[in-house]
Amino acid sequence: MSTQQVNVEYFFRLIYEWIYGQHAVFNYAAFQAFIAHLWLWIIVIGYILSIIGLFVIVYCTVRLFELRKRESDYYGTPILAPEAEGGVNPRWQHIESLADGASASEWREAIIEADIMLEDMLARQGYKGDGVGEKLKSVEPSDFDTLNDAWEAHKVRNQIAHEGSSFNLSEELARRTIARYAAVFHEFKAI
């Protein structure tokens, strides 16, 4: 029996001759020129995309600050007692108009707006926390007669926020939830 060995050097020599030899099939100098030319275009396109990206970032940042200013103007409306304001709280009127709407999307928006108003009211009452849930946890039950209503309403808001349009919000549940928010706001004379 004879064992055959593979001459690896022979294959490397063939590759070398193919690239650098006298009768080379592959023109290495032309390939190098092509790569240099391609690299130049990659650099030019990269700079152009970077400049466009910089303009997009600046534009988005400016728009974001404008949006934050509008939100602070809208949501910064103080919650005043009706007698101090001479009528009903305009934020609550907006929430009620959404709750009286015919579509589930309006009911969802009304509940989310009412929860935002609840968070503002809790912050004005001095409760600390990152969100409504944390503020409600810091409430002493003896100081808050409608604490259970606030929790139940906030739970519905969380379901809406987490499930979105897939959450089946009935008109009855929406009305009950808005009524719970109203009970809380009446207790603290916010509406």
* 164 part of a folded domain: yes
Confidence band for 47, pLDDT divided at 50, 70 and 90: very high
Q: Is residue 101 part of a domain?
A: yes
Q: Quick one: pLDDT at residue 155? A: 94
Condensed to tens digits (0 to 9), the pLDDT of residues 69-127 reads: 988 877 776 555 544 455 578 889 999 999 998 888 999 999 999 999 999 888 888 88
Residue 168 lies in a domain: yes
Q: How many domains does the chain have?
A: 1
Domain that holds residue 87: 82-187
- Residue 55, in any domain of the structure: no
Q: Is the pLDDT of residue 58 over 90?
A: yes
pLDDT, position 112: 94
Axis-axis angle for helices 90-99, 104-124 (nearest 10): 150
pLDDT 10s digits, 133-155: 899 998 888 888 898 999 999 99
| Helices within the chain (DSSP H only) | 8-20, 28-75, 82-85, 90-99, 104-124, 132-137, 147-163, 171-187
The pair of three-digit structure tokens given for residue 5, joined into one six-digit string = 């060995």
pLDDT tops 50 at residue 30: yes
pTM over 0.75, yes/no: no
- The candidate with the shortest Cα–Cα distance to 87, out of 191, 182, 178, is 191
Measured CA to CA, the distance from residue 181 to residue 157 in angstroms comes to 11
Q: Residue 180 belongs to a domain with what CATH number?
A: 1.20.120
Task: Give the span between the Cα atoms of 54 and 13, in whole angstroms.
Answer: 50
